[in-house]
Amino acid sequence: MEYMDVESLKKLNKNKKLVKKLAKKYHAFLASEAVIKQIPRLLGPGLNKAGKFPTLVTHQESLENKVNEIKATVKFQLKKVLCMGVAVGNVGMEEKQVFQNVQMSVNFLVSLLKKNWQNVRCLYLKTTMGKPVRVF
């Protein structure tokens, strides 16, 4: 796992291109309590615009658990797109786990919509190589 200290963040010097390049290079960022307060001052709004502002890690938390939690997190980006795809499971998971993930992700997505279920026309489940199956 790579890391950057405050000095290396200062070297970026709010350079928009370098901050954008840094944001594209990684899926997520972690920062300690002391550093997270300084990030907007050091990097400017670049990470925030990319939707990758660092997640807080306290000294009591296990870094490995936090990384696994972030890997398992799904972001729903509601824009003008009418179609959306989300990974809800993998081959190593049991049926109950996949079902629970589907249920949680669909319910959360519906809660984000203005008219809830009235905004959903249909839902499909699809395996990697299989045909899509209509669920709703």
One pLDDT digit (tens) per residue for the chain, 136 residues = 788 888 888 777 777 888 888 888 888 888 888 888 888 888 878 878 887 888 888 888 888 888 887 777 777 666 667 777 777 888 888 889 888 888 888 888 888 778 888 878 888 888 888 888 888 8
In sequence order, what are the residues at sequence separation of 6 or more whose Cβ sits closer than 8 angstroms to the Cβ of residue 45? none
Residue 23 contacts residue 52 (beta carbons within 8 Å): yes
Tokens of 83: 């179609």
Tokens of 19: 């901050």
Amino acid at position 13, single letter: N
- State the pLDDT at residue 96: 92
- For 44, other C-beta atoms within 10 Å of its C-beta total 16
pTM above 0.75, yes or no: no
Tell me the domains of the chain and their CATH numbers. 6-71 (3.40.50.790), 74-136 (no CATH)
